[in-house]
């Protein structure tokens, strides 16, 4: 099993979208990319921690490829918006791919380049090495499923 971490706005909807896809074993929402290891939702919401809201996927590479996940990632949000996904505004809602290793980094840059060409250079998605990932509070996990 492999893991990948993606920021595409508020983490509730992406978790809902990914959770039942073939090859996705587990979804978890959290925070990544900031300077501190331990943060709370309230701190992340200030926009001062540097963290993005993210969904972390555990997937079976024999059933779904990382590139396919990235293709879905770009289809699930508007990657041309900087530091927001309407109606949510702030750096914590940015579009960002957090790679775990050199293979993911290479694939992320390849897919980003292809998508950016299709969007005439308007893609705002960042690509960064995973840093300071932290699982979000329990009440955020499967939030939409629990609050229908």
- Write the pLDDT tens digit of every residue in 56-104: 999 999 999 999 999 999 999 999 999 999 888 999 999 999 999 999 9
Q: What is the pTM of this model?
A: 0.95
* 10: annotated active-site residue: yes
- The span from the CA of 18 to the CA of 115, in Å, is 20
Per-residue pLDDT, 145: 83
How confident is residue 147, by pLDDT bands cut at 50, 70 and 90? confident
Question: Token digits for 140?
Answer: 């955020």
pLDDT at 148 over 90: no
Domains of the chain as residue ranges with CATH: 2-143 (3.30.1060.10)
How confident is residue 11, by pLDDT bands cut at 50, 70 and 90? very high
- The span from the CA of 39 to the CA of 2, in Å, is 25
The CA–CA distances, whole Å, from 59 to 5, 15, 46, 66, 123 equal 11, 13, 31, 9, 26
Q: Which of 3, 10, 16, 83 is catalytic?
A: 10
Per-residue pLDDT, 144: 83
Per-residue pLDDT, 75: 95
């Amino acid at each position: 099993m492999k893991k990948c971490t993606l920021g595409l706005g508020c983490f509730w909807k992406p978790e809902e979208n990914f959770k039942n896809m073939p090859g996705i074993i587990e979804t978890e929402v959290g925070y990544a990319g900031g300077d501190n290891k331990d943060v709370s939702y309230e701190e992340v919401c200030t926009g001062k921690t540097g963290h993005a809201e993210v969904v972390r996927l555990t997937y079976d590479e024999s059933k779904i490829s990382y590139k396919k996940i990235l293709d879905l990632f770009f289809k699930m949000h508007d990657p041309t918006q900087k530091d927001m996904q309407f109606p949510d505004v702030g750096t914590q809602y940015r579009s960002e791919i957090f790679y775990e290793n050199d293979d993911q980094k290479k694939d992320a840059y390849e897919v980003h380049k292809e998508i950016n060409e299709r969007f005439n250079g308007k893609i705002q998605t960042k690509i960064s090495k995973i840093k300071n990932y932290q699982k979000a509070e329990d009440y955020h996990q499967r939030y939409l499923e629990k609050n229908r």
